[in-house]
Amino acid sequence: MAQKTSKLFKQMKANKPIKIFVDCHKFDEDYQGITSYIKGLYNELSKDENFHFYFASSNSISLKKVFGEASNITYLDYFSNNKWIRLLIDIPLKILKYKIDFAHFQYVVSPFKFCKYIVTIHDVLFLDYPQYFDKKYRFKNNFLFKTSAKMSEIVLTVSEYSKQRIAFYYNISSKISVVPNGINSEYLQEFNKEKSKIYIKVKYGIENFFLLVSRIEPRKNHLLLLKTFYEEKFYLNYSLLFIGKRDLYYKEFEVYLENIPEEVRKKIYILENIDNSNLIEFYRAAILFIYPSFAEGFGIPPIESIAVNTPTLCSNSTAMSDFDFLNNFLFDPKDNNELTDKIKLALKENQVYSQREKMISKYNWTNNSVKFLEAVYSKT
């Protein structure tokens, strides 16, 4: 890998810096997987002065806190928060003004093209699992994603699973490169778990908890964990914490939660709008992290919890089946009994993952940035 990277960089140094425009509008919204992806990838790429990066959002001051200041970074402000004004007018004008070579979008590109396009399509789960998405959403996004993929010179995605599904639906396998998510540096810092537990207890009043970090919607399968927690009486010794916004109405989950006795509901917490510094403390303080999602294009939260050495259980469905470092702690998200057994096993073994290093070597931004560079250089 080192030889390949060195050869690539030497070839690129013979040319003028390549200008890459990065649509960062997601940083104007709630922190989510896409923002983590852009942050990790471009914090690594921006170290290379063979590129000049143009990061654009509605708040360049906030972006500077993410990527810092450097001679090869320029920050741009959008003049409107409206999605269509951004795609139809603002971005094309900026591409022309700064003579951009590549523009990198998430899912949807501008229809007016004045440079080469990179689009990251993280998943097409709405096509594989239509029951979790309304008809309008499926129709609109299928059209936009397919059009964006066809218009782009480079299509990136985050897992082999997503690559196969995108290629199947859009017939573009030759232009797809897998650039997975990686662990951001703050999750790899040394820490004291007991101090994290005390911090969470003092600030939020929560202790001895199972944790799930995810938007609350049917595809994420919160109901399985809630039922298991209640019916197997884990509440006698532990609390249950969900961190994430109620993104889509999840009737089964809400009805079940409401019918749990009040004394048990006092041990079930739902928190929204937790900033990243506090989110890391929750990961560190958790007794167990449990991720029962039915379908993911990648699945960032489990690798974040493993990075801080919190015992982790994860669904074995879709892209998450790639998490082979979890060994016996993958489970069928449709099987309540299996999840119960895995929880009891994890609590009994009080495991600290020897697989952590294997996960980090597989999902790190240094290696992933090389994959990105290879894709870009192949189109220069």
Q: Identify the H or E element spanning 116.
A: strand 116-120
Judge if 119 and 66 occupy the same domain. yes
Judge if 190 and 115 occupy the same domain. no
**Chain centroid, CA 74 distance in Å:** 25
d(CA 156, CA 119): 6
d(CA 380, CA 377): 5
Provide the H-helix boundaries in 116-208: 125-128, 135-151, 160-170, 193-204
Residue 242: count of CB within 10 angstroms of its CB: 23
Judge if 209 and 167 occupy the same domain. no
Judge if 36 and 159 occupy the same domain. yes
Judge if 174 and 247 occupy the same domain. no
Judge if 144 and 163 occupy the same domain. yes
Judge if 103 and 215 occupy the same domain. no
Q: Which one, of 209, 165, 363, 191, lies nearest residue 277 by Cα?
A: 191
Judge if 138 and 127 occupy the same domain. yes
Judge if 193 and 176 occupy the same domain. no
Strands 102-106 and 116-120: parallel
Judge if 320 and 218 occupy the same domain. yes
Distances (CA, A) of 52 to 10, 42, 96, 156, 376: 17, 11, 15, 20, 13
Contact 107, 143 (CB under 8 A): no
Q: Give pLDDT, residue 327.
A: 83
Question: In a structure prediction context, what are the per-residue pLDDT tens digits for the chain, which is 380 residues long?
Answer: 444 454 555 545 556 899 999 999 999 987 778 898 999 999 999 999 999 999 999 999 999 999 999 999 999 999 999 999 999 999 999 999 999 999 999 999 999 999 999 999 999 999 999 999 999 999 999 999 999 999 999 999 999 999 999 999 999 989 999 999 999 889 999 999 999 999 999 999 999 999 999 999 999 999 999 999 999 999 999 999 999 998 888 999 999 999 999 999 999 999 998 988 999 999 999 999 999 999 999 999 999 999 999 999 999 999 999 998 888 899 999 999 999 999 999 998 755 556 788 899 899 999 999 999 999 999 98
Judge if 155 and 250 occupy the same domain. no
The token duo for 291 is 């991720």
The residue range of the domain holding 77 is: 2-182+364-377
Q: Give pLDDT, residue 1.
A: 43
Q: Which residues of 182-195 are buried (b: 16+ CB within 10 A; e: fewer)?
A: bbbeebeeebeeee
- The DSSP-derived string for 305-325 is HHHTT--EEEE-SGGGGG-GG
**In degrees, to the nearest 5, what angle opens at C-alpha 149 toward C-alphas 317 and 116?**
135
Judge if 129 and 62 occupy the same domain. yes
Which own/partner contact pairs does 3-11 have at CB distance under 8 Å and 24+ positions apart?
4/370, 4/374, 5/370, 5/373, 8/370, 8/373, 8/374, 8/377, 9/48, 9/50, 11/377
Map residue 211 onto helix, strand or coil. strand
Question: What DSSP designation does 235 have?
Answer: G
The token duo for 19 is 């200008």
Q: Give pLDDT, residue 330.
A: 95
Question: First vs last Cα of the chain: how many Å apart?
Answer: 21
- Domain of 117, CATH number, reads 3.40.50.2000
Q: Give pLDDT, residue 16.
A: 86
